[in-house]
Amino acid sequence: MALRLGDDAPDFTAETTQGTIRFHEWIGDGWAILFSHPKDFTPVCTTELGYMAGLEAKFAKRNTKIIGLSVDSVSDHERWSKDIEETQGHRVNYPLIGDPEMRIAKLYDMIHPNATGSAEERTAQDNLTVRSVFVIGPDKKVKLMLTYPMSTGRNFDEVLRVLDSIQLTARYKVATPVNWKAGEDVIIIPAVSDEEAKTRFPGGWKAPKPYLRIIPQPK
């Protein structure tokens, strides 16, 4: 069955560049980003993993671990990581999952369920759908899912922005408007009555329409 927002993130045990992990145990009490790429030693993926390595400290500040995955072997990941550091200027310090049997890729609906063939035989084109991003909360539920086409490198700054929004709205009864960035005004959600809002947000709000109640971002 297809994975949907709000579903439990499937747990699994896997080999990674940092040893064997049990996914839910590895996440612990924080947040996690699981992202996949079509193939090691390919150009777009090289830029993506290098950029993500450069963002690792920013994710850590948000109590968020990152972990990569492809249907290549752990040994290929280790060899390719040297190319990533050399060409992108960032060392990959986060774990990379080896999934040559496509078990986890299929578990997360990243790849066609009937896909077959060894990692050595498969090309990036064969792994067309494996450019996915999942944000998983401390409750181990899926908070965000993104899938990009083969030819388009992902915008991981956008993933960081969405993570800020998700974490903020998990703490307060607010939503974030179009193109919102951390520190900007937010919106009181419709489920909060005006009476409740007066208690939660005593500073008041701007309301160009009764259903559009705007407040500064809660601290």
Catalytic residue positions, numbered: 45
Residue 2, C-beta contacts closer than 8 angstroms, at least 6 positions apart: 109
pLDDT at 125: 81
Under CATH, domain 172-215 is a member of which superfamily? Antioxidant, Horf6; Chain A, domain2 (3.30.1020.10)
Domain boundaries, the chain: 13-153, 172-215
Does the pLDDT at position 136 exceed 70?
yes
pLDDT at 1: 59
> pLDDT tens digit string along 14-48?
999 999 999 999 999 999 999 999 999 999 999 99
Q: Which two tokens stand for residue 64?
A: 């968020």
Q: Is 151 left (phi over 0), alpha (psi -120 to 50) or beta?
A: alpha
Provide the H-helix boundaries in 149-214: 156-171, 194-200
Does the pLDDT at position 119 exceed 80?
no
CATH 3.40.30.10 fits 13-153, yes or no: yes
Does the pLDDT at position 111 exceed 90?
no
Count CB atoms within 10 A of the CB of residue 136: 23
Instruction: Tell me the C-alpha distance between 98 and 41, whole Å.
Output: 14
CB-based contact 46:13 (threshold 8 Å): no
| Amino acid at position 217, single letter | Q
pLDDT at 130: 87
Q: Calculate the alpha carbon distances from 185 to 122, 192, 213 in Å.
A: 47, 17, 10
Count CB atoms within 10 A of the CB of residue 4: 9
Name the DSSP class of 118. Answer: -
Instruction: Tell me the C-alpha distance between 40 and 37, whole Å.
Output: 8
b/e sequence 78-97, b meaning 16+ C-beta within 10 Å: eebbeebbeebebebebbbb
- Position 9 confidence tier, pLDDT thresholds 50, 70, 90: very high
User: Order of strands across the sheet with 13-16?
Assistant: 19-22, 13-16, 96-98, 64-70, 31-36, 132-136, 142-147
Instruction: Tell me the C-alpha distance between 144 and 52, whole Å.
Output: 17
Q: What percent of the chain shows pLDDT beyond 90?
A: 88
